[in-house]
Structure 1
Amino acid sequence: MFRSPSRPPGAARSFTAPGAALLLCALAGPVPLSASPIAAPLDAETLVDAVLASNPGIDALRAGTEAAEARAHAAGALPDPRLGITVAPAALDGFEAGGGRHRDPTGAVELRQDLPWPGTLGLREAVSRAEARAGRDAEAALRLELAATARIRHAEWAYVHAALAVNERTASLVEALREVAEDRYAAGLASQQDPLQAEVEVQRLRARALTLEGRRAGIRSALNALLGRDAEAELPAPGALPAPGSAPPFDTLRTLARSRHPDLHAMRQRVEAQQGRAALREKAFYPDLSITAGHNGYRPAEETRFTVGVGITLPLDRDRRRAELDAARAETARMRHALRDRESRLLAEVSAARAAAERARATVALVRDALLPRSRETLDAARSAYASGDGSFLDVITAERQLLNTELELERARADHAIARAELMRDTGGPLPAPEAAAEETTP
C-alpha cells in the first residue's frame, strides 16, 4: 500500500471512464519480460524513463490517435460519385420482334455527385480533428500518471532502504549496549534486568527488520510490474532523495495546471468537438444537394439525349431534427460543466499536494535541525549516566527508541516530500519551476 500525502487514504483519483480503463491497464504493467539490468543507483528520473519506454498503454493510445487523425482527413472529403447505367433488355436482342431488321442497342448513363450543405464537410473534419487532439492529450495524461506513479514508488523504495539502514544502525548500537549491560551485571554493578531488556530490544529490532524486508519485497514487485519485469527480479538500491525545497506559490501552480494539464486540454477539445456536432445538427435543417449529368439513348431527338440536373433532399421531419439539436446543445452544456468541475477538483488536488510538500519540508527541517540532535544528546547523556552508575538502563533503552523513531520520522518526511512533489508535477501537468535554494542537508 502506497501512501499519498496529498489526500487521505482511500480517496480516489477522478478520471473519465475511458481514461480510468486505460490507466488501470497501464498500471497493471506490460506482459512480463526477462529482467534487463538497470543502472545503479536507481534514481527517480531513470525509473520514469524506463517505465514510459516499456508500458504498452502509451503505444495503444498513440495508435488510436493516429487512427483518429486518419479518420479526420477522410471526414472532410466529398462522398464518392455514383455512376448509373440502364439498358433495355429487348434492345440487346439485335432483331426487332417479328422481323429480321437489325437494331442498334441503346441505353442510358448517369453520373451523380452528392453535395452536403455548404460548411458541413468542414464541420465534420473539425469535429474529427478535435477528437484526435483529445486523443493526444489522453496519451500525455497517461504519461503523467505513469511518471507520478514511478516517482512515488521510487520514494517508497528509498524510504524502505533508509529505514532498514536506520534499523541496522540501531541494532548495532543495542548490541553494544547489551555487551555493556552484561559486563556490568557480571561485575555486580547492574541487575539481571538490564541485559534482559537489551535482549528484548534486539529481538524487537529484528522483528522490525523482517517487517521492513517484507515491505521492500512488495515495493520491488510493484516496481518490476511497472517496468514489465519478473516480480522477483533484482533492482538496484535507490539513489538519495533530493533535498526538500520550497514549493512554488499556489498562484503559479494554478496557472500551470490550467494552461498545460492534458486532462483539461482533452476536455476542452471534446467540448469543441461537441460544439461542432451541434452545428452539424443545425445544418441538418437545410437540404443536401446533388448534381447529375447523363446521356439517355432512349430519347428520339439527339439534342435532348444529353442532360444535366440538380436535386435536393427534403428535410421535412423538423421535429426530429429539433430534438437532435436540443440534445446536442444539452450535451455541450454538460461537457462544459464537467470541464469546470474537473478544473476545480484539479486545483484542489494541487493545493493539497502543495500543502503536503510544504508540511513535509518543514518536518524535515524540524526533525533534522532540532529533534535529531536532541535525541542523540539524550542518548549520549543516558549512556554516560548509566556507565557512571547514576542512571538506569531503562533510560538508555528509552533514549535509543526515541532516536530510532526520530530517524525514521526524518526518512518518512523526506519520502513524503518526494511523493508530494511527484503529485504536484502530475497535477500541474509537468516539471515544476525551480524551487528556492534549499539548505544543505547531511544524511546522518
Structure 2
Amino acid sequence: MKTSYRTLLCASIAWLLLIFPAVAQESDLGASLSGLLDYSRKGNPEYAAMRAELDASTQRVESAGALPDPRFRAELRDVTRQGDQSPLLLPGQVGSTRYLLMQEFPWYGKRDLKRNIAEQDVEAARGRSQGTWIEISSRIKVAYARLYLLYRSERIAREIIDLMTRLESVTQARYAGGLAAQQDVIRAQLEQSALRNELIALEAERRQLQARLNGLLARPAGASLAEPVALRPVPSHEQLNLTGLEERAITRNPQLSSEESRIRSAQLSRDLVLKNRYPDITLGVSPIQYQGTVKEWELMIEMNIPLQQSSRRAQERESEAMLQAAQARKESATRQLLSELSENVDAIDAARRTENLVATQLLPQSEFTYQAALVGYENGKVDFATLLDAQRQIRKARQSQLESQVEAQFRLAEIERIIGEDL
C-alpha cells in the first residue's frame, strides 16, 4: 500500500514538473515580442501551409527530370487459327502473340531543363514561405507595439484622472471658501467623465487588438495575453544607412528572391520550348510467340515529326513574353520596395527627433507650466481654465512622446519586412 502511494506521489510530481514550464510560458505570453514570434512560428497555420507547399514543390524535382514510364502491349493474332477453332485468348492457343515493350526518350537536354525548372519553382516557393513568415512577423511586431501604446495610454489616462480628482478637491476647497466659482468644480468633474469615457474606448480597442493578435498566434480570440513590458530599441543611424539597407533588400527580400526565381524559370521554359523543335524518340523491342515458342524478334523506333511550325513559333513567342513579364514584375517590385524603404527610414528618423524634442523640451516645459498654473490658481492669480489647459498640455506631450516611440516601432517593422530580416 505504501509502495503504490509513493509511486502515485512520484508520478504526480513528475507530471507537475512537466507541465509547469508550459503553463508558465503560456502565462507570460505577450510580455515580450520574441516570445510572441516564437509561439507564432510554431503554430501559425498560414505559415505551416506555406511550409507544406514548399515541401510539396521539393518533391516534384525528382519526378520532373525522370523518364516517362515504359509502355507494354500484347497482341493476340489469329485467335481462331484461320477458322480451325473457336476464338481463344491464351497466347499458346492462338496463331501468334506479339509483345511490345516501348520506352520514350525526350530529346537531349529536355529532362535537365524540366528538372531545373522544378528547382526554380522550389526557390520561388521558398521565397513565398519566407515572405509569408516575414509578413506575419511584421503584423505581430506592429500589433505588439500598438498593444504597448494602448496599455500606456490607459495608464496615462488613469494618472490624469487621479490628477483631476485632486484638482477637483482643490476647486471644492476654494469654492467652499468663496475663492472660486462652482463652474470650476463642474469643469473638473466633466474632465474626469470625458477621461473615463476615453478609457472605456481604449480598453475596448485593446481587447479587439488582443483578439487579432491571438488570431496570428492560432489561439482562441479571448485567450489572455500579458501586458507588453518594453519596446525594442531603435537601431542607430549607422544601422539605418539607406544605401546599406537597399543592398540588403535587393539581395535578401523574399519577394525579390521569388521574382528572380520566376525569371530563371521563365528563361528555362523558353529554352525548353526551343527544344520542342526537335522530336522525342520512342524505342521498342517486340518478341513474337508462336504457340509456346518465341521465334521472331522485332525492333522499333518512333518519333514525332515537328511539322506544326506556326504553333511552335507561337509557343516560343509566348515563352519570350512570359520572360519579359517576369523581368518587368521584378523591376516594378524592386522600385516599389526601395521607395517604401526610403520612406520608412525618413519616417523613423522623424519619429526619433520628435521623441527627443518632446522629452527634452516640450514635456519639461509643460510640467513647469502646469506647476506654475497650479500655484497661481491656488493663489487666485490664474483661472481654472488656464490650469486645465496646462494639464492637457502635459497629457498631450506625454501622449506625443509615446506615439513617437510606437511610430518608430511601426516603421522599424516595415523596414525589416522590406529587407527580409531583423536589424
Q: CA deviation at 1:310?
A: 2.8
1:30 is matched with: none
Contact kept? 1:94, 1:105, Cα under 8 Å: no
Of 268, 283, 295, the residue aligned with 1:276 is: 268
d(CA) in 2 for partners of 1:93, 1:58: 69
Matches within 5 A, 1:173-184: 173-184=163-174
Of 354, 360, 371, the residue aligned with 2:345 is: 354
**Is residue 2:311 matched to residue 1:316?**
no
d(CA) in 1 for partners of 2:193, 2:408: 32
Structure 1 or 2: larger helix share? Answer: 2
**Is residue 2:181 matched to residue 1:185?**
no
Contact kept? 2:60, 2:118, Cα under 8 Å: yes
**Is residue 2:329 matched to residue 1:338?**
yes
Of 107, 129, 139, the residue aligned with 1:139 is: 129
1:295 is matched with: 287
Contact kept? 2:29, 2:36, Cα under 8 Å: no
Contact kept? 1:95, 1:103, Cα under 8 Å: no
Change (3 A) 1:413 1:309: same
Contact kept? 2:348, 2:411, Cα under 8 Å: yes
Structure 2 length as normaliser, TM-score? 0.87
Q: Structure 1 stretch 408-417 or stretch 239-248: which is displaced more?
A: 239-248
Q: Which amino acid aligns with 2:53?
A: G
Of 200, 206, 214, the residue aligned with 1:224 is: 214
Q: CA deviation at 1:378?
A: 0.5
1:377 is matched with: 368
Q: CA deviation at 1:128?
A: 1.2
d(CA) in 1 for partners of 2:152, 2:415: 24
Spell out, residue by residue over 1:200-242, the C-alpha distance to the aligned partner (whole angstroms, 9 max, x if none): 2222211221221121122122112222222222211111213
1:158 is matched with: 148
Spell out, residue by residue over 1:126-154, the C-alpha distance to the aligned partner (whole angstroms, 9 max, x if none): 11111122111101000000000000000
| Large movers: runs of 4+ above 4 Å | 91-97, 102-105
Q: CA deviation at 1:46?
A: 1.3
2:76 is matched with: 87
Q: Structure 1 stretch 385-394 or stretch 120-129: which is displaced more?
A: 385-394
**Is residue 2:249 matched to residue 1:241?**
no
Change (3 A) 1:110 1:162: same
Of 368, 379, 388, the residue aligned with 2:359 is: 368
d(CA) in 1 for partners of 2:288, 2:248: 67
Higher relative contact order (CA 8 A, sep 6+): 1
Q: Which amino acid aligns with 1:208?
A: E
Of 392, 400, 406, the residue aligned with 2:391 is: 400
SS at match of 1:374: helix
1:57 is matched with: 46
Of 255, 260, 281, the residue aligned with 1:263 is: 255
Structure 1 length as normaliser, TM-score? 0.83
Matches within 5 A, 1:75-114: 75-90=64-79, 106-114=96-104
**Is residue 2:419 matched to residue 1:411?**
no
Q: Structure 1 stretch 152-161 or stretch 177-186: which is displaced more?
A: 177-186
SS at match of 2:28: coil
Spell out, residue by residue over 1:329-382, the C-alpha distance to the aligned partner (whole angstroms, 9 max, x if none): 111101110110011101111111111211111111111111111110010111
Alpha carbon RMSD of aligned pairs, Å?
2.3
2:63 is matched with: 74
d(CA) in 1 for partners of 2:234, 2:93: 98
For structure 2, the 5+ residue unaligned runs are 1-24, 87-91
Contact kept? 2:283, 2:302, Cα under 8 Å: yes
SS at match of 1:114: strand
For structure 1, the 5+ residue unaligned runs are 1-35, 433-444
Q: CA deviation at 1:75?
A: 1.0
**Is residue 2:418 matched to residue 1:427?**
yes
Spell out, residue by residue over 1:15-50, the C-alpha distance to the aligned partner (whole angstroms, 9 max, x if none): xxxxxxxxxxxxxxxxxxxxx934166112211222
Q: CA deviation at 1:64?
A: 1.6
1:214 is matched with: 204
2:8 is matched with: none
Q: CA deviation at 1:316?
A: 0.7
Q: CA deviation at 1:103?
A: 8.8
d(CA) in 2 for partners of 1:397, 1:138: 54
Q: CA deviation at 1:311?
A: 2.7
Spell out, residue by residue over 1:61-83, the C-alpha distance to the aligned partner (whole angstroms, 9 max, x if none): 12222222212210101112222
d(CA) in 2 for partners of 1:103, 1:291: 29
**Is residue 2:186 matched to residue 1:196?**
yes
Change (3 A) 1:235 1:290: same
Contact kept? 1:246, 1:358, Cα under 8 Å: no
Contact kept? 1:111, 1:293, Cα under 8 Å: yes
d(CA) in 1 for partners of 2:235, 2:248: 19
Q: CA deviation at 1:108?
A: 2.3
- What's the % identity of the aligned pairs? 27
d(CA) in 1 for partners of 2:176, 2:277: 103
Change (3 A) 1:92 1:52: farther
Contact kept? 1:40, 1:238, Cα under 8 Å: no
Spell out, residue by residue over 1:300-323, the C-alpha distance to the aligned partner (whole angstroms, 9 max, x if none): xx9x93233333221111110110
SS at match of 2:282: strand
